[in-house]
Amino acid sequence: MNKFTVHKGLVAPMDRENVDTDAIIPKQFLKSIRKTGFGPNLFDEWRYLDAGYPGQDAASRKPNPDFVLNYPRYSGASILLARKNFGCGSSREHAPWAIDQYGFRALIAPSYADIFFNNCFKNGLLPIVLPEAVVAQLFDEVAAFPGYQLTIDLDRQVVVKPQGEEIPFDVQAFRKYCLMNGLDDIGLTLRHRDKISSYESQRLATKPWLAHTMVPGA
């Protein structure tokens, strides 16, 4: 996954509490066995006026002009500002996939559903938790200033506002390490590929019969 060190981006506000994962990526899109291509269907039922289904050409859809991500001022946003309990509902990993594949790199909210929160880190997204009053102030500033951008410095664990004010945030050390080095669970394992290969070679040298494939029913 992509490394996260310092990111500066346009902020889009999702001014709703308790946004669940079925709203983030509706259930009909979970039929896909791919891990890519979910970005066009992020917030599908809110984002479009017509019904969505897998394999649909997004260019032929009818956008909802009243949905925040369809406002021209938020085009290209890469930081999502949200209210409390974002990502509640079912534990589908497709939700952070869709958010990431839309183009968001980080989220800011007062709280998240636990499984969604963990899934974000495993998929290269940084979910930042800030006090509710601080988040409310950010919503006010985003609304008041078109083109509002924030800088997120993961190494220093601060969100930097346009005028230079820094807001500290907490992140668990191991999760920070993984994000800054672009390591998901597979990547963490592959750091030891030489040891794994050496072990497999030694194992086959002493137990060569393990190299043969067992045929069911043979």
Within-domain flag for 205: no
Sequence length of the chain is 218
| pLDDT at position 91 | 85
Within-domain flag for 90: yes
| pLDDT at position 204 | 74
Output the tens digit of pLDDT for each of the chain's 218 residues. Answer: 889 999 999 999 999 999 999 999 999 999 876 788 999 999 999 999 999 998 889 899 999 999 999 999 999 999 999 999 999 998 889 999 999 999 999 999 999 999 999 999 999 999 999 999 999 999 999 999 999 999 999 999 999 999 999 999 999 999 999 999 998 766 666 565 677 676 777 777 787 776 765 555 54
Within-domain flag for 69: yes
For 17, the domain range is 6-182
| pLDDT at position 200 | 72
Instruction: Output the pTM of the full model.
Output: 0.87
Residue 87's contacts (CB-CB under 8 Å, 6 or more residues apart) are 19, 20, 21, 24, 95, 112, 113, 115, 116, 117, 120
Q: What is the CATH number of the domain that holds 44?
A: 3.20.19.10
Within-domain flag for 35: yes
Looking at the structure of the chain, the number of domains it has is 1
> Rounded distance, CA 118 to CA 102, Å?
19
Within-domain flag for 192: no
| pLDDT at position 218 | 46
Within-domain flag for 212: no
| pLDDT at position 206 | 81
Within-domain flag for 198: no
Within-domain flag for 11: yes
| pLDDT at position 35 | 80
